[in-house]
Every structure is written in C-alpha cells, then in structure tokens.
C-alpha cells in the first residue's frame, strides 16, 4: 500500500499526517518535532487553531537541525470563514505563511463553505449566539484561491466540510482554472461518508478524514456521546491484530485510500498512531467497521445551521 495519495497535480500527499486542532500552543511545537522524528511528513494546520506560530517553530527547528528539508514536508492550512471576501484571501494566506515561517503551502483549503462577517472575531455572533454571515459567494472565494496558486504561495488548493453539491458548483464554474485537489471532512466509523468519499474520488479529488478517532477531547463532548475508542467491536478487531483501537481507526481510512490526520500531543501516541503500515484489515473487518455508521457528527457547526451555505442539510 502506498504511503501517499497522489493529487491530480501529481504532488504526493502523505496518507498519514499529524492533526493540530486543539493542540495547546505550549505543547504543539514539541509534538511536531516528535512527529518528524517518528517519520511524519504531513502536518495539518489552520488559522483558526491559533497555534500555527508554534507549529512553524517546531518545523523550523527540525529543518535547521538538518533532520528534514522543506521539500520533504507536506504542510496544509486553511482559510478561515471571516476571510472569504475576495480581497482578504491573499492576506489571510500570507498571515498563515508568516506564522508557519514558510514561503509556500503544499495545500490550502477553504475551511468551511460558510462565510462569516469580516473582522477580528473568529466567530462573530448575534444576540442569539448565531454566527453572523458574510454576503460572499463560494465561487468568488475560489477565484481568489486560484490566484494564490498563480502567485506561488500555495502548490494546490482544496476545500473542507463541503458537500457534493457545493463541490459540483466549483467544478461547473465557467472559467474554472484549478479544480479542488482535496476535500477534508469529518470521517470515522460512526460517520463513514461513503457517498461523499466515492463522489470526490470519482472526480479525482482526494479526501482527508479529520477527527478519525471521534475527537474524544472536543470541548463540547457530553457524557452520553458514543465513544469510538471504547467501542467493543473495534476493540475486538484491534485485539485480533495485536493493535490498539486508535491504530485500527487510522488503518480503516488508509485502506479506503483516504488521507488521515489523527491529532495528539502525547509522544507515545504520536508514535503509536504512525505504526499502521504493518497490518491489514480484512475485507470482512472493513465491512463490519463501515456498518457502524450512524451519521453522528463531532463537528456540526450548529451555530451556522441557518446559513445559506450550511453544508450538512444535503444528504452528502
């Protein structure tokens, strides 16, 4: 099995990356350094995670020490929702590049299809707590993303949390210059996303799975929520392979040719999560895991449910 997925641009995107959402600033630089030592070459970042500066420090330290070269790494970041206006996109990208201390990104994604009111607040809200939208259009934002490729700031562009209708609109856009190279979506056995994964892959768009372990550390977790890592059926499959539940949950994506970005700041887990290339789930095990789907979302972004571009009303 290849340890990377080839994008339509011919770039090779490592199939396993380190996620950095919810990684505390004081710990994430060390997590990045540990990951590089273990063999990770793909790092998933975003402006809204508010830790790109530290991620960049970790990367820089390893480049300076001669452990890796910039071209060995595949660094992803995301345009936040308050920067969807065309004239704000390049500045947002440059802010991320400055924080990460890089002169280009391998992949830059529109983080969500929903635009928010521009300004310093990441989640501008009205008195009811609902997010205030911007009057922006996905297709205009996409044109600004295309300009980043031409300017040499990013090698490839893509989307995140887009449904297939929204991707279709980009693909059908008159004068489209670059199609999306990737769609990063929440994906795990309780949200298997078969239709969306099949759709994207059929269009030559790679898929990245975020929250592959069900994001047990999400701030809004409720005690009654299902826990993937504790699922007895997953544990059973893991025991059979002498692996952990986390390793099975990661391997599940790799075998679907889906890129996967488990987050950890714990050195032992960063290492454990990378040891997924020495076993294979059987066809039966894959089917069993796919059967756990219950359309359960960690990230529903419910404060945007009335937004015209809210992505999760569509079937897929």
Tell me the C-alpha distance between 268 and 111, whole Å: 29
Task: Evaluate whether 270 touches 38 at the Cβ level (below 8 Å).
Answer: yes
Which element (helix H / strand E) includes 234? helix 232-241
Q: Tell me the angle at which helices 245-254 and 283-290 cross, rounded to the nearest 10 degrees.
A: 100
Tell me the C-alpha distance between 247 and 262, whole Å: 10
Tell me the C-alpha distance between 91 and 47, whole Å: 12
Residue 76, beta-bridge partner list? 44, 107
**49 labelled catalytic:** yes
Parallel, antiparallel or unpaired: strands 74-79 and 107-110 = parallel
Catalytic residue among 8, 40, 47, 49: 49
Q: Which residues are catalytic?
A: 49
């Amino acid at each position: 099995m290849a340890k990377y997925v080839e994008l339509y641009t011919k770039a090779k995107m490592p199939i396993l990356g380190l996620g950095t959402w919810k990684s505390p600033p004081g710990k994430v630089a060390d997590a990045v350094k540990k990951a590089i030592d273990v063999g990770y070459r793909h790092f998933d970042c975003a402006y809204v995670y508010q830790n790109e500066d530290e991620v960049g420090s970790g990367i820089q330290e390893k480049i300076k020490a001669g452990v890796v070269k910039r071209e060995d790494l595949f660094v992803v970041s995301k345009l936040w929702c308050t920067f969807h206006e065309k004239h704000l996109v390049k500045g947002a990208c440059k802010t991320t590049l400055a924080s990460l201390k890089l002169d280009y990104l391998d992949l830059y994604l529109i983080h969500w299809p929903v635009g928010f009111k521009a300004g310093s607040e990441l989640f501008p809200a009205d008195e009811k707590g609902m997010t205030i939208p911007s009057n922006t259009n996905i297709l205009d934002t996409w044109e600004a993303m295309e300009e980043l490729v031409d300017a040499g700031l990013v090698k490839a562009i893509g989307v995140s949390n887009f449904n297939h209708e929204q991707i279709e609109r980009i693909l059908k856009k008159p004068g489209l210059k670059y199609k999306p190279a990737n769609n990063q979506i929440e994906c795990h056995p309780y949200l298997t996303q078969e239709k969306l994964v099949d759709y994207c892959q059929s269009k030559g768009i790679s898929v990245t799975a975020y929250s592959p372990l069900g994001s047990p550390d999400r701030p809004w977790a409720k005690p009654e929520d299902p826990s993937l890592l504790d699922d007895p059926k997953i544990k059973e499959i893991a025991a059979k392979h002498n692996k952990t539940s986390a390793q099975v949950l990661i391997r599940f994506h790799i075998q679907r040719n889906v890129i996967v970005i488990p987050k950890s700041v714990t050195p032992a887990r960063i290492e454990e999560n990378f040891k997924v290339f020495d076993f294979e789930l059987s066809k039966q095990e894959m089917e069993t895991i796919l059967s756990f789907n219950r359309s359960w979302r960690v990230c529903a972004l419910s404060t945007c449910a009335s937004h015209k571009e809210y992505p999760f009303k569509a079937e897929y």
